[in-house]
């Protein structure tokens, strides 16, 4: 087993999610709604005030699962989206995707042995 010291590693130096400039409360609210009632967003970065924590990751996944099961049980309880919400959700999700890809690349480089 190899244990990595991420904080002191030359390629990693710790990481956490952050809010990109221009993110608004409406963007976070838009992510509460699935796109076309089929793509649900969740994760530790999907809460404006408590991002970057394991409890937030758990609660976000729990809420998404609850919304999915409620929608499966009763179609009238499905959260819908509007074009504005879908557009906002897309931009926030894309930003978070790019952050995740950057994190994964950094993680790979931190384990890479030259």
Cβ contacts of 4 within 8 Å, gap of 6 or more: 12, 110, 111
Residue range 29-57: mean pLDDT, rounded: 75
Of the chain, the percentage scoring pLDDT greater than 90 comes to 0
Instruction: Say if CB 42 and CB 61 are below 8 A apart.
Output: yes
Other Cβ atoms less than 10 A from the Cβ of 110: the count is: 16
Cβ contacts of 111 within 8 Å, gap of 6 or more: 4
Residue range 25-54: mean pLDDT, rounded: 75
CA dihedral 38, 41, 42, 44 (to 10 degrees): 170
Mean pLDDT of the chain: 70
pTM over 0.75: no
Tens digit of each residue's pLDDT (9 = 90 or more) over 7-23: 676 666 666 677 777 87
Q: pLDDT value at position 92? A: 63
- 76 has a pLDDT exceeding 50: yes
Token readout for 20 is 């990109």
Q: pLDDT value at position 96? A: 67
Instruction: Return the SS3 of 39.
Output: strand
- 82 has a pLDDT exceeding 60: no
What are the residue ranges spanned by the domains of the chain? 12-80, 81-113
């Amino acid at each position: 087993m190899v244990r990595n010291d991420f904080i002191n590693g030359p390629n990693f130096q710790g990481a956490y999610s952050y809010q990109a400039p221009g993110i608004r409360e409406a963007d976070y609210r838009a992510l509460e709604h699935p796109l076309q009632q089929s793509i649900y967003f969740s994760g530790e970065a999907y809460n404006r005030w408590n991002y970057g924590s394991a409890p937030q990751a758990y609660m976000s996944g729990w809420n998404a699962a609850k919304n999915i099961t409620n929608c499966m049980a009763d179609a009238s309880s499905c959260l819908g989206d509007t074009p504005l919400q879908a557009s906002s959700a897309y931009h926030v999700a894309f930003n978070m995707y790019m952050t995740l890809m950057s994190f994964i690349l950094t993680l790979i480089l931190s384990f890479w042995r030259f």
